Amino acid sequence: MAVPLWQKGIVTKIEDETYNTKRFWIELPETPSFNFTPGQFVTLDLPIHDKPNKRWRSYSIASWPDGNVIELLIVLLEGGAGTTWIWNNVTVGSELTLRGPQGVFTLPDEIDKDLFFICTGTGIAPFRSMLNHMRLHNVPHKNIYLIFGTRAQRDLLYHQELKELQKDIEGFQFIPTLSREQWDGCCGYVHAVYEKLCEQKQPAQFYLCGWKAMIDEARKRIVDLGYDKKAIHLELYG
């Protein structure tokens, strides 16, 4: 498949999601209808290095197909050249260069097994896209579990929206779990949550998105539960 061409994007809106995470809405004026499959990503070409491959930063699309505006969810990484430049330079009206969509971290054509969406940090973005797409198009499905691991309540992303989505998608459970703070929700790491839910080893597909350490451990634990490696799909961050 041919690599998409670079195109212009105009930032139309910016909102703080948390103290260190922003939502960026980007209009693609050269593409009247930006068609992508939920779960795919775009790559930004940022003026932070002479070598092209050191300028590129990829972000999952947090919105769902609807015209030519996309939303990106970006966390400020300590010492990160790309996000530091974005924080210091990008405002409403800024012009960016991007290409996409790309990636195969997408839903199967037929959802005939339970889905486990397991993520940390901004790894929640592609799952928000998938879930809203499923809601809008009444996509047939089995049970869906979104297990979102983060440190504290101040790090929760799309929290209220995803809680409300449980009312609109039958069989969907949103399970945020905090590793560094006690609260009235789930505490600890994501692994204990899906291991408990999979005690009966029901047919399932696992989608992992987030930091490498979490994904590496999840892959091993899921296989140890008795699932085939082919049931595991992943998107790495860092």
Task: Quote the pLDDT of residue 52.
Answer: 85
Q: pLDDT tens-digit profile of 23-43? A: 999 999 999 899 999 999 999
Residue 82 φ then ψ, to 5°: -70, -55
Cis amide linkage into residue 101, ω under 30° from 0: yes
The tokens describing 134, both together, are 């499923």
Task: Quote the pLDDT of residue 160.
Answer: 96
Q: pLDDT tens-digit profile of 182-236? A: 999 889 999 999 999 999 999 999 999 998 999 999 999 999 999 999 999 998 7
The tokens describing 154, both together, are 């101040």
Q: pLDDT tens-digit profile of 51-74? A: 988 999 999 999 999 999 999 999
Task: Quote the pLDDT of residue 235.
Answer: 85
Task: Quote the pLDDT of residue 2.
Answer: 75
Residue 238 pLDDT exceeds 90: no
Closest CA to 129 of 151, 107, 110, 98: 107
Q: pLDDT tens-digit profile of 112-130? A: 999 999 999 999 999 999 9
Of 131 and 185, more confident: 131
Alpha-carbon distances, residue 148 vs 178, 195, 206 (angstroms)? 9, 14, 13
Helices 212-224 and 190-197, packing angle to 10 deg: 20
Q: What's the predicted TM-score (pTM) here?
A: 0.96
Mean pLDDT score, 140-156: 96
Average pLDDT across the chain, whole number: 95
Mean pLDDT score, 80-99: 96
In sequence order, what DSSP letters do the residues of 46-104 get, joined into one string? -SS-SSGGGTEEEEEB-S-SSTTEEEEEEE--TT-HHHHHHHHH--TT-EEEEEEEE--
Q: Is 165 helix (H, G, I), strand (E, B) or coil?
A: helix
Task: Quote the pLDDT of residue 35.
Answer: 94
Q: Predicted confidence band at 1 (pLDDT cuts at 50, 70, 90)? A: low
**Alpha carbon distance 115, 207 (integer Å):** 8
Q: Is 119 helix (H, G, I), strand (E, B) or coil?
A: strand
Q: Domains in the chain, start-ordered, CATH in brackets?
A: 7-101 (2.40.30.10), 114-237 (3.40.50.80)
Q: Is 234 helix (H, G, I), strand (E, B) or coil?
A: strand
Q: Is 209 helix (H, G, I), strand (E, B) or coil?
A: strand
- The region, left, alpha or beta by phi > 0 then psi within -120 to 50, assigned to residue 143 is beta
